[in-house]
Every structure is written in C-alpha cells, then in structure tokens.
Amino acid sequence: MTDDLLEISGMHKSFGGLKVIDDVSFNVRRSSRTALIGPNGAGKTTVFNLLTGVYPIDAGTIAVDGQDITDVPPQDRVTVGMSRSFQNIRLMPHLSTVENVMLGQHARARKLGNLLFPLGMLPRNKWRRAAEEALDKAGVGTYPGEIVSNLPYGVQKRIEVVRAMVSDPKLLLLDEPAAGLNKTETNQLQELLERVSDQGVTILVVEHDMQFVRDLCDYIVVLNFGRKIFEGTPDEVHKDPAVLEAYLGTDEDTAEAANAS
Amino acid sequence: MSGYLESQLIILCLSIVYAYGIFLPAASGQLNLGAAGFITLGAYASAWFNASTGAELPIWLSIPLAMIFTGVIAFAISFPILRTRGVYMVLATFAFAEVVSGVAINLEFVGGAAGFPVDDHADVTVIVPVTIAVILFSFYFMSTRLGLSLRSIHDDESVATLFGVNVRTSKVVAFTVGAMLMSLGGSLYGHHYNYIEAQTFNVLLSIYILLYVLMGGTQTAWGPLIGATFFAVVPETLREIAESAGLKWLAEGRFILFGVFIVLLMVFRPEGVMTRTLQDRLGGGLFRRKKPVADEMTGGS
Amino acid sequence: MLIIQQLVNGLMLGGVYVMVAVAFTLIIGMLNFLNFTIPALFMFAAVLMYATMMGHLPFGNDLILSIFGTEYRWVAGIIVALVVIALVSLVIERFTYRYMKAKYGDATEHALPLVSSLGFLIIFEHLVVSTWGSDPLTATSPFGQGTFSVDTIIFSVPQIVSLVLSLVVVVMLSVMLKATKLGRALRAIAERPDTAILMGVEVSRIVPVVYVITGLLCAVSGILFTINYATVDAYVGDTVATVAIAGMVLGGLGNVWGAIIGGLFIGMLEVMSIYIVGADFAKLPIWGLLLVLLVFKPTGLFGHTLIGKGKF
C-alpha cells in the first residue's frame, strides 16, 4: 500500500487550441484532506473532470492506490474507488432524494440479482435503508421521498455529497461543496467530512471558502492558469508570494486570511 | 358484457400494451416513433408461427416466439439506432417502421398486400389478463435498479455514467424489451381480429402511441396507463355524449377537440399528466417523511 | 425513352415538394424540432385553393365570385391560401414555441414542440375532413393541360412553371438569409440561441417570422400542387411529408440547398420506384435509404449548416 492514494503525473489538456491544464503533477496522501484551490478559471473543475474521465486526458498518468487508471472508461472509474460531487448541483431532478442516493450505490450493485430486484416495491430493502441512514447521518434525513427539485439549495448540496459517499469510495472528490451554504450548513458539512475522513476516506476538495479550507484541510494544492503554482500546508500557502499574486485583487477572503495570519 | 363494451375494452387493452412498449425507451429519454414497425413484426410473426400454412404452432407458443423474433430484430437494430440522437432517432425509428411495413406488404407467404388471415382466436379472457400482466411487469421493471438507471439516464446521462451506470446496455435493454411488448400487442391484435394487413399498422398509429405516452407522462409507470386510457376512452365517450345530446358537430369534431387538448396540455403541462411530484403527492407520501420536519436551517430538532 | 419521361415527371413532382422540404429543414435548423404541422399546412393550402376556385369555401364564395369572376378565382385562391396560412402559422407559433424555455438535457420535455405540432396535424386533418369530407376533391385547372414536347418527352407547362417558381422562391430565401439583417438574426438564433439574445436579437419577435415564412413556403407549394394535379384530399400531406422529410435528411438537416437537391432527388426516386416496382413497393427504397443514411451519415450529403444546439 503506497502512501499516496492519488498520483497525478504530467497532466495536460487542451480544448481546441486552448491549453487549460499544463503539466500538472501532485499526489494526494492516503486519508488526507487536501484542497485544490485557485482563482476562477484556474482549471480546478477540469482536473476533476479529467480524474473522473469526463474528458480524456491529452498526456500524463493518473493512478489510484497504485493502479494506473488513465485509460479506464468513465463508468468504471467509480469502481476503482473514485466518487464525486459537482460544482453546480447535478442531482436527478425527477428522482426523489433517496433514489438519487441509491444511484450512488449503483457501482456496488451491478450484479444481475441487484439490478432486477424491485427496489421501489419493497421499501424496507437493505439498499434503501442504507441510503436513508446515510442521509440521516448527514443531517438531511427528513426528506427521503421528496423529489429533489423541490428542496432548498443547501439541502440539495448536501444530498449530492451523500450520493458521492455511498459508493464507498477511497477517494472523494468534492467540487465546491460549501458554495452557497450558510454558516450552520457549512459547519455541518465540515463535521460530516471530518467523520468520513476519520473512517479512512481520502478527500480532495475544490473550494473558494478559505475559512472552510483552513478548518478542514491539512494540505493544499494551488492552481493558476492551468498550472500548479504551489503545494503545501495551509500555513505555508498564504505566505507564498506566487499564491498571493494569483489571488490579489480577485479573492478578498484569501487576502483577508493572509492578513489575519 | 355487451359486444360494444367488449370491443372497446379490447381496444383499450391493446393500446395499453402498445403504450408500455414505447414508454420503456421513453423513460430513458429515447423517443421511438416506430411503434407500428414492432407491432407489425409481432402480428405477422405470430400469425405465421400459428398458421397452417406456416409453422402450425399453437397460440401459446406462436405469441412468445413472435416476441423473441421481434426482440432479436430490435436488439440488432438497437445498436445503430441508439447511435442517433434526438430528432435523428425519431426519424430513424420512423424510417424503420416504414421499412418493416414496406417489406411486410411484399411478402407473399404472409399474404402480401391482400392481408393474412390468422387462425387461432384470442378473446377477452386472454387479452385482459395479458394486459394486466404487462402493466404489472412494467411497474415492476421501473421499480428495479434497472428502472432507476433508466430514469437517471433520462435526467442526466453523463452523471449516471460517472456513478457506474452502463448507459449503452440500459438503453438497449429498454429499447428491446419495449419492442417485445409492442410485438405482444401486435400478436394479440392479429389473434383477436383474426386478420392482419400491413396498412393497418401505419404512421398514424405510431404517432398516436407516442402521443399517449408523452401525454400520460414518462416519469412514472402510471403515465402510459393514463395516456392510453384517456385516448381510448375519451373520443368514444365524446361521441356517445354528442350523439345522445344531438350535438352533431361534437361527434365529428371530437378529434379536433382532441388535437386542441394535446396542444393545450403541452402549453400548460408539458411533462404529461402524471409527474413524479404528482405521484408523490397522491400516494407516495407514505414514504415521504419519516419524522417531523426538523429545522434544517439551525441543523437540529 | 420511358425512363427519362419518368425522371422528368419525378423532377416535376420534386419541384412541388421542394419547398416543403425547405420548410422542414428551416425549422429544424433554426428551432431545432421536427415540425409535423408542415405537411398539414401544405394540405390545408391545397384544399383552400381548391375550395376557393370551386366555390366550396364555408363562407364568402359569392363575394369572391363577384370580385374575381369564375375566370380569376384562382387568384383569389392564392390570396386566401396565403393569408389564412400566414395567420394560422402565427397561432401555431404561440402554442408550440417553447424550445428556448425547455431545459437542455431532457429529451422528452424537449419533445414539446413536436407533440404540439402533432396536435395541430390532427386538428387540421380533421378540420378538413369534417368540412369537405375525406373523398378526393377535384378542381378544374385554370391553365388547362398546357404541355409541350422535346423529342418524345412531354413537359407540362404548369409543372415547369412550378419548378422554376419553387427555385426562385428558395433562391430568394437563401439570399435573404445571407444578406439581410433578418437573415443574420435567423442564423444567429440557429447557431447560438443564448448568445443571440445577448447580441440584441429579439428572438421572441423573430421566431414568429420563421413560422410564417415556413408556413408560406408550404402554402405556395400547396397552391402549386392544386394547380398542377387538380385533385386533392385531406391526406395529401402524408405523401408530401415522406418525400419532404426524406429530402431534408438526404440534403442534411438545416441545409436549405441540400433540401432542394434532396427533395428533387427523392421526387425522382419515388417516381422511379413506382414505375419499376409498383406503388406498393415504392416506400421501401426510399425509407431504406433514409434509415441507412440516418445511421451512417446523418449529416446527409451536404452536412448541416444551420443546425442549432440542443438535443431535439
């Protein structure tokens, strides 16, 4: 078992003539809570898209738990232990809360027997109970049957995180999970993620909320214009001149946080 | 049951079976305008398997065999057809139905353009139970994880993929099983009226079935049932009312009213009559709340 | 040579259908849906032309007779058909234009305009049947049977006029799309609906124009059909639809010139098929060709130039 759960090496991606990811390499240590930060447009979500296989990588390798997954097709990446949430909520609008979460279980339920089991008709089945439990633990357990498009934004965001969690991933990729959440919701999210991390799941989170990042994460990777410009602990990060330059004038939180330290 | 009511019931049952055949692919977002093609395949195959000039098999064999036959064809063409998207898929399925019709008319050993008599008879006692079985099967199918995958694909194909759903396989299954249901409907038609001709299964039929399904709603398995029932029952009812009330224009104009209704429904309720939210409000609410609403904003009860 | 005569007949037939193919292709290209009302508008125009010429309108026959006289009722027919279709198109637009409001990514909700158009198709077909019956309706052509021959091949004057007229109309349309402000706005909507709004294109005012233009194309086609073939019924829309849709696909969805060439070609293919294998079998080559095309080369012969975004 290697120390690093995720190893990204020499990642390159261009769209048309535009290079959006330029030679990005970093590793994410097992069971760590790492943040991927950078100004808007730095390429953070693109990195996630490349990791999950939404786009094919132009050059470079990605390895999870020692296994090279660069050529693994997107629908199989979840079976190697990767799961993600999205920047803009991408829950299935016509499915209920618990059904959305059950979709998250799909990778673990691909056997024919599971596929043909009438989930909807026997409501006390183990998959549904597991989904409801997960929702409960995340504090969004009061709405299992509600159609998600009727729910408030903050609740939907957390349901997305739960969906990503129930596939039992080794690596949880969260894209701005705290965006749009109020103080209380953010704290709840943080508690949830801390608990998940304590169970051994590695977390890689993209975020703009620097307070959240500093409270939750133990390691930070900084991107700008598709390149990695720094990696280190939260304390080291905001002293680095390159990082400050990247953020000056664009992100008040960082500047404030920098001044406050 | 009076002869008239019985014949109406048969029409209703056949419409329901056809509708579920289109519903399965529609639930995953695929619009199939080729219902007539699969219905034709089912009708002709079963007729031939059953005929004394054909395989001379009993009806309880000829119908399933026809379903398998149609299933194989549907499976085979599902691969090229599922490569098309949106309007192209509508046109491709439409073209497929026309090709089937064109071929059927020319096959002399099943009567060609003159039509083909069908030997065994299937009456209400066969058709109604089979229809109920189809309805139950469809509800079951949509309640499985496979059904969940289909509905996820409908909502967001790329995210479904990222969670491990094999989109291609799911769509092929939906398409093929749907085709087999339509084939069943066609076989039942043939064995009930004991005569088939390719011209009966025309474009208008494909259009109507797709309309039933879209108007009933593709989000739940109730949709096709509602759509088919409404479409089979309302025009006749309107005609009855009109005739007894002496409103001649209503009797003849009922299809016009029909068309108007379709247009208005698309304006005011484009997802169809039965949506997931409505189903929830009507009865699924049993599982909606487990405990009193906690104040989510402050995070505790 | 009989074959060449058939080819010529097919070309003439195609000429009448071409405008319907163009109408289909414009709506697919600009508004991104298959508008099944188009063949119904064609049929309605053809029937209105017949009814005006033969004095069988539900009302106004005497008025028309008094203004135009029996000789020039065909002029009234043209006016009636064009005006009614234009108005009807505006009504239809009100009730089917929702593509911009439909969310992307949901194919069945995107089917909304398609379903509405099917609703209108049903309305028109039954409207015609209940007003004029479902039997064939014959009009006496104002131009007689004017024909001329080159070698042994017979050309019908009205049909040549139709073909030329069709081409002229479509050329004008093409020019309009390329060179006028309206045309630029239409192309903007086709290519990037969201940015079109930002660029100041008043989409909600332009879309009705698209509906009216395509409606008028069908109307002209329907008028020419009645003049040329004299016998119409409530179901002529169906035959046109086959050729027009096939032509559109062959030429590439959204491609105006493709639709013309495609329409002409399919017209010829239809006539040849009927001649070679008989009317019953004629469908097969056309739809078989279409199926193969859709699967292997959906962009058709010339690709789509005006195709917009979105799945439907």
pLDDT tens-place string over residues B152-190? 999 888 899 999 899 999 999 999 999 999 999 999 999
Q: Is C4 on the interface with B (CB under 8 A)?
A: no
Model pTM?
A: 0.87
Amino acid at C1: M
From the list B29, B99, B255, the residue facing C284 with the nearest CB is B99
Which pLDDT does position C218 carry in this prediction?
A: 92
What's the average model confidence in pLDDT over B127-137?
95
Give the best residue of B162, B287, B301 to mutate against chain A (max A CB count within 10 A). Answer: B162
Nearest to B192 by CA among B23, B20, B46, B2: B46
Contacts of residue A92, Cβ cutoff 8 Å, sequence gap at least 6: A99, A100, A103, A148, B151, B152, B155, B156, B159, B160
pLDDT at C247: 87
CA distance C115 to A113: 38
Per-residue pLDDT 10s for chain A (261 aa) are 568 889 999 999 999 888 999 999 999 999 999 999 988 888 899 999 999 988 999 999 999 988 899 999 888 888 888 999 998 889 998 888 999 999 999 988 888 887 888 887 787 888 889 999 999 888 888 877 788 888 888 889 889 999 999 988 999 999 999 888 888 888 888 988 999 899 889 999 999 888 899 889 999 999 988 999 889 888 888 788 777 777 764 555 555 555 554
Is a pLDDT exceeding 80 seen at residue B125? yes
> Best of C30, C103, C114, C274 to disrupt the B interface by mutation (most B CBs within 10 Å)?
C114
Cα separation, C62 vs C50, in Å, equals 15
Interval C151-175: pLDDT, tens: 777 777 777 777 788 778 878 888 8
What pLDDT band is residue C309 in, cutting at 50, 70 and 90? very low
Inform me whether the pLDDT recorded for C252 exceeds 80: yes
Residues 6+ apart with CB under 8 A from B206: B33, B34, B35, B36, B37, B94, B97
Sequential DSSP letters for C23-48: HHHHHHHHH-S--THHHHHHHHHHHH
Nearest CA in chain B to C128: B256
Q: Is A181 exposed, middle or buried (0-12, 13-18, 19+ CB in 10 A)?
A: buried
Nearest to A258 by CA among A214, A192, A220: A214
Task: Report the C-alpha gap between A224 and A228 in whole angstroms.
Answer: 6
Q: Which of C103, C122, C235, C253 to mutate to test the interface with B (most CBs of B within 10 A)?
A: C122
Interface of B with C in 270-299 (CB under 8 A): 270-271
Torsion sign across C-alpha atoms B11, B13, B16, B17: negative
All residues at 6 or more sequence positions from B247 whose CB lies less than 8 Å from its CB, including other chains: B241
Chain B residue numbers with beta carbons less than 8 Å from the beta carbon of A123 are 287
- Show residues of chain B in contact with A132, CB under 8 Å: 290
- Report the C-alpha gap between B211 and B269 in whole angstroms: 14
- Tokens representing B137 are 């099967």
Please give the residue of chain C at the shortest CA–CA distance from B210.
C115
Q: Is the Cβ pair B275, A94 closer than 8 Å?
A: yes
Is the CB of A103 inside 8 Å of chain B's CB atoms?
yes
**Band of residue C107 on the pLDDT scale cut at 50, 70, 90:** very low
Chain C hits for B199, CB-CB cut-off 8 Å, are: none
Pairing of strands C153-156, C147-150: antiparallel
Distance CA C105, CA B86 (A): 10
| Chain B: closest CA distance from residue C249 (Å) | 9
Tell me B109's DSSP state: G
Q: Do B270 and C288 touch (CB under 8 A)?
A: no
Q: What is the pLDDT of residue B97?
A: 93
Q: Are C281 and C273 in contact (CB under 8 A)?
A: yes
CA distances from B208 to B32, B196, C192 (A): 12, 19, 33
Contacts for B242 with CB less than 8 Å, ≥ 6 apart: B248, B249, B250, B251, B254
Per DSSP, the three-state class of A40 is: coil
CA C67 to chain centre: 30
Of B145, B294, B297, Cβ closest to residue A117? B145
Considering only CB atoms, A142 lies closest to which of B160, B285, B290, namely B290
**Between chains, do C95 and B259 touch, taking CB under 8 Å as contact?**
no
Strands of B14-95, DSSP E: none
Cα–Cα nearest to C234, from C52, C51, C111: C51
Checking if the pLDDT of C120 tops 70, the result is: yes
Question: If pLDDT is split at 50, 70 and 90, which confidence band does B284 have?
Answer: low
Tens of pLDDT, residue by residue over C21-68, are 989 988 887 777 788 899 999 999 999 988 888 888 887 777 777 787
User: Of A244-253, B52-61, B277-286, C223-232, where does mean pLDDT reach its minimum?
Assistant: A244-253
Q: What is the CA radius of gyration of chain B?
A: 21
The reply to whether A185 touches chain B by the CB within 8 Å rule is yes
**Partner residue opposite B163 with nearest CB, options A103, A145, A154:** A103
Residue C126: what pLDDT?
87
- DSSP per position, A58-85: SEEEEEETTEE-TT--HHHHTTTTEEE-
- With contact defined as beta carbons under 8 Å apart, do B199 and B11 qualify? no
> Left, alpha or beta for B86 (phi > 0: left; psi -120 to 50: alpha)?
left
